[in-house]
């Protein structure tokens, strides 16, 4: 029998997001995200952190093919050939 796992929640993920943000800030970098399957969760977690605007520009929730094509400029043929959850689409 396997031990059930507890899914991550805000309490466990925000410290991780904070650590990433601190590393970005120290290096003078800023993050911007395109989210699909996460539905904006990562952006939400980041904006729960006071001062995150110093290292977080924002995120776009692009779930549908038309949103990926129109907002992000993902090639329609790549979406059709590779599927939305693929390296080829993420790389574009």
pLDDT given at position 10: 79
Mapped onto helix, strand or coil, the DSSP state of residue 38 is: coil
pLDDT at residue 12, as a whole number? 86
- Is 72 a domain residue? yes
Query: How far, in whole angstroms, is CA 32 from its chain's centroid?
Result: 8
Cβ distance 36 to 63 under 8 Å?
yes
Has residue 5 been placed in a domain? Answer: no
Classify residue 4: in a domain, yes or no.
no
Instruction: Give me the domain span that covers residue 41.
Output: 11-61
In a domain, 69, yes or no: yes
Overall domain count for the chain: 2
Q: Are residues 43 and 57 in the same domain?
A: yes
Residue 1 lies in a domain: no
Q: Is 84 a member of any domain?
A: yes
Q: What is the pLDDT along the chain (92 residues), one digit of tens a residue?
A: 566 566 778 788 999 999 999 999 999 999 999 999 889 999 999 999 999 999 999 999 999 999 999 999 999 999 999 999 999 999 99
Are residue 52 and residue 76 in the same domain, yes or no? no
Q: What is the pTM of this model?
A: 0.81
Q: Are residues 25 and 51 in the same domain?
A: yes
Q: Is residue 6 part of a domain?
A: no
């Amino acid at each position: 029998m396997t031990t059930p796992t507890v899914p991550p929640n805000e309490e466990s993920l925000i410290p991780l997001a904070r650590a990433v943000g601190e590393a970005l800030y120290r290096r003078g970098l800023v993050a911007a995200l395109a989210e699909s399957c996460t539905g904006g969760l990562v952006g939400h977690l980041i904006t729960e952190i006071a001062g995150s605007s110093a290292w977080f520009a924002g995120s776009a929730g692009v779930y549908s093919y038309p949103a990926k094509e129109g907002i992000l400029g993902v090639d329609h043929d790549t979406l059709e050939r590779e599927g939305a959850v693929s390296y080829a689409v993420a790389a574009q």
